[in-house]
Amino acid sequence: MTQFLQQLVNGLSLGSIYALIALGYTMVYGIIKLINFAHGDIYMLGAFVAFYATRYFQLNFFLALIVAMLFCGVLGVVIERIAYKPLRHATRITALITAMGVSYILEYGTQFLAGSDVKTFPEGLLGNLTLELGGVRISMQQIMIFAVTILLMLALTYIVNRTRMGRAMRAVSVDEEAAQLMGISVDRTISFTFLLGSVLAGAAGVLVGVYYNSINPLMGMTPGLKAFIAAVFGGIGIIPGAMIGGLSIGIAETLVIAYGSSLYKDAIVYVILILILIIKPAGLLGKHVKEKV
């Protein structure tokens, strides 16, 4: 039981990171029905910004986290304005191919500027404190992941449900044309959605960099894909679904490593995707929507 609880804590740590990335996928898809495959690379850039902020500018963890979130948020808006806005009314496959192109530009642009070698964060950035509760060990890095994830998710929930911009986001996701007729700026709302999603991805990148103490320009590919699967698992376009999907994927992956083999940790994610598409294609919290043709 102690081992199971320990793996559950580890799974929740990993799942919290997947959930932060998945929220960006699901918000963008919920607004403009775009699968932004460059989102995982924004997560990667968040880790690199925090690395340089802590290694060369001697910033502490919290300042580096804020800088990385701001950088990724601005980058998300710039990418939306340059790459996605001109294609807003184009076919979905066109936007999807563009997103893949942006992803490669970010990956190999970072590789060109920062090099392809693995980089590590300064030692002791969060200290070496470890709590032990009933035989279950929780590191300072895990505590910080839980704390930051909870705070960001509460802030996101408040923004979406309680603010004017949140109401605009929900209106645009339901009917873009009707929202525009009601005086809502669709362009500003979509840009704000990209801003929020990129901020969350940047925070996830910082947390991963500190937790695993290893970053590289291609680190966003696999977690980005797993976060997308988490969004589909929970019901893409539904914010609580992304949270549930991310936590579920993280726990499943950790349990497979503990009780099976690390060779299957990626396979179990795709098995879950296949099963959910067969059993409930709309995701756990998704609903089937009939479209008139």
Residue 122 in domain:
yes
Strand 130-133 with 136-139, pairing? antiparallel
The reported pLDDT for the residue numbered 79 is 95
Report the sign of the C-alpha dihedral through residues 93, 98, 99, 104, in that order.
Answer: positive
- Measured CA to CA, the distance from residue 42 to residue 106 in angstroms comes to 8
Residue 234 in domain:
no
- Measured CA to CA, the distance from residue 268 to residue 253 in angstroms comes to 7
What is the average per-residue pLDDT within 91-104? 91
Q: Which domain does 179 fall in, by range?
A: 2-228
Task: Please tell me the total count of domains within the chain.
Answer: 1
Amino acid making up residue 14? L
Residue 248 in domain:
no
What is the average per-residue pLDDT within 73-87? 94
Binned at pLDDT 50, 70 and 90, residue 247 comes out as very high
β-strand partners of 215: 119
What is the average per-residue pLDDT within 90-102? 90
What is the average per-residue pLDDT within 123-127? 76
Binned at pLDDT 50, 70 and 90, residue 256 comes out as very high
Residue 198 in domain:
yes
Given a cut of 90, is residue 236 above it in pLDDT? no
Residue 272 in domain:
no
Residue 89 in domain:
yes
Residue 137 in domain:
yes
Per-residue burial over 205-235, b if 16 or more Cβ lie within 10 Å, else e, is: bbbbbbbeeebbbebbeebbbbbbbbbbbbb
Binned at pLDDT 50, 70 and 90, residue 293 comes out as very low
Burial environment of residue 134 by CB neighbours within 10 A (0 to 12, 13 to 18, 19 or more): exposed
The reported pLDDT for the residue numbered 57 is 92
Residue 11 in domain:
yes
